[in-house]
Amino acid sequence: MIPPKPPVRPEKVSLLTYLRLFRQDILSAQPAKLYRAWMAEFRTPFFRSYMINQPSLVKTVLNARPRDFPKSDRIGAGLRPLLGNSVFLTNGATWERQRRIIDPAFEGGRLRDTFPAMWAAGQAATARMGDGVQEVEELTSFAAADVIFRTLFSIPIEDRIAQAVFSEFRDYQRTQPILNLAAFVKGPKWMPRLFSKRTKETAHSIRVLITELTEARMAQIKDGTAPDDLATKIMTTADPDTGETFTTEEMVDQVAIFFLAGHETSASALAWTLYLLAMFPDWQDKLAAEAKALDAGCDFKVMSKLRLSRDVFREALRLYPPVPMMVRESKCPENFRDRAIKPGAQVVISPWHLHRHTRLWDNPDGFDPTRWATENGKQCMRDAFIPFSSGPRVCTGAGFAMVEGPLLLSMLVRNFRFETTERTPVPVAHLTVRSKDGIWLKISKRTDDA
Ligand code: HEM
């Protein structure tokens, strides 16, 4: 049984057809050969992009010479009204300063401090879950948003502002649904890049809400009454080089990206993992048995016992990497696989294709959580597994997500059974990898003690 994979397009199509397919969905617009190519060139009259799948070249771009391949300005095109100058979009000295202030909040020790808030969010998600056929992306979105608000600001999703931010974000995505299209399509100048009035209004109202939260926290920090959570940690951390802390405005930019990057991605990963577990009930039972370790109560140490859950979550991140592609811009003339790449060219790194590369992985499209213990799995984990990217721009929340994912998953399967329905999800790339018409599962209370 092979988990759902998007259809591929025919090898040869006209430029117009390609652009049309691309607009619909980046994944199904690609030909099958990208799953076995080391490098591919997209040549159109308007832009030239190179997708690289060769592990050594991916390492050159992400790890060895990241300064020569900064994020392209265009990546942020759809997100800038919302994210302003957030760490996700900046480059150079501004980005370095932002990471110096943010990174300490996500270090190992802090994750331990954050654990009770994640646990509480998991318990709330379990309490909310009912029986019957349900769309699980909706449920995991709500749960992941709850995790972010509890860990960042010590408030649950039921809070007035948290609720409002959550629902405004949904509107934003409806008005601005395709994240990366503009990043791939370099020029021409007349390409419409204007945001609709509605997009700008929604972005503004989200930022007003986040500003309210951030200002209230600034006041609590001054009074000495602030809770010890991620927001307080970030807002009180001084840049070791300059001694400065974030201004309210800078913090609002960062909160917006934590919310967006932290909840959309985890929600996508959790929903796909639940689908995979429904497809493979033997694995679901194994996870449910392992999850009995949770009965001992909230203790960070339990994470070392949830190994199967971690392996399954990792396998889901391989098959359905929430961020399917990343785009960089080459700053210098390069030569990759005997092809001259001019400065300004777009370099596309595709976790989606790398994670299913037929020349790298054993059983690339199959679901096999035991692969991580095999030679091939270990090798590929080092060379061809980048769900959180790699190098200095690696996801700030990678460690956080690898606690959140397996924990919530274990809590859910400890209490519920998930079964497939006749609706098979089709993966498409929205802001993250989602299912075209949602992920529908039959959910029932787990009555046995297996
Ligand atoms: C399964 C969950 C997650 C996945 C798969 C994921 C994936 C990624 C990827 C691939 C990038 C790099 C994007 C690029 O370079 O174009 C990224 C960046 C980022 N992520 Fe995550 N992420 C996840 C969860 C989180 C969480 C929970 C947070 C915060 C609470 C977070 C915060 C960020 C931030 C701030 C960046 C920008 C880092 C920079 O550019 O320096 N992410 N994430």
pLDDT in tens, the chain (450 residues): 999 998 887 777 777 777 767 666 777 778 889 999 999 987 766 667 899 999 999 999 999 999 999 987 766 666 778 888 899 989 999 999 999 999 999 988 888 999 999 999 999 999 999 999 999 999 999 999 999 999 999 999 999 999 999 998 877 776 654 444 444 454 444 444 455 677 778 888 889 999 999 999 999 999 999 999 999 999 999 999 999 999 999 999 999 989 888 888 999 999 999 999 999 999 999 999 999 999 999 999 999 999 999 999 999 999 999 999 888 999 999 999 999 999 988 899 999 999 999 999 999 999 999 999 999 999 999 999 999 999 999 999 999 999 999 999 999 999 999 999 999 999 988 778 888 899 999 999 998 654
Residue type at 333 in one-letter notation: P
Give the burial class of 41: count Cβ atoms within 10 A of its Cβ; 0-12 exposed, 13-18 middle, 19 or more buried.
middle
Indicate if the alpha-carbon torsion angle 52, 328, 337, 188 is positive or negative.
Answer: positive
Q: What is the pLDDT of residue 72?
A: 77
Pocket test for ligand 1, best of 265, 272, 328, 394 (most atoms within 8 A of CB): 265
Residue identifier of the C-alpha nearest atom 9 of ligand 1: 388
The binding-site residues of ligand 1, defined as CB within 6 angstroms of any ligand atom, are 87-88, 99, 257-258, 261-262, 265-266, 269, 322-323, 326, 387-389, 393, 395-397, 400-401
> Is residue 445 a contact partner of residue 416, using CB atoms and an 8 Å limit?
yes
Q: Is the separation of the CB atoms in 6 and 30 below 8 Å?
A: no
Sign of CA dihedral 237, 242, 247, 253: negative
Q: Please tell me whether the overall predicted TM-score, pTM, comes out greater than 0.85 for this model.
A: yes
pLDDT at residue 449 in the model: 58
- Separation of CA 133 and ligand 1 centre (Å): 31
Nearest CA to ligand 1 atom 37: 88
Whether omega for the bond prior to residue 188 falls within 30 degrees of 0, making it cis, is yes
pLDDT for the residue numbered 170: 79
- Give the C-alpha distances (Å, rounded to integers) separating 339 from 39, 61, 121, 368, 394: 10, 15, 50, 36, 27
CA-proximal residue: ligand 1, atom 32 (nearest): 397
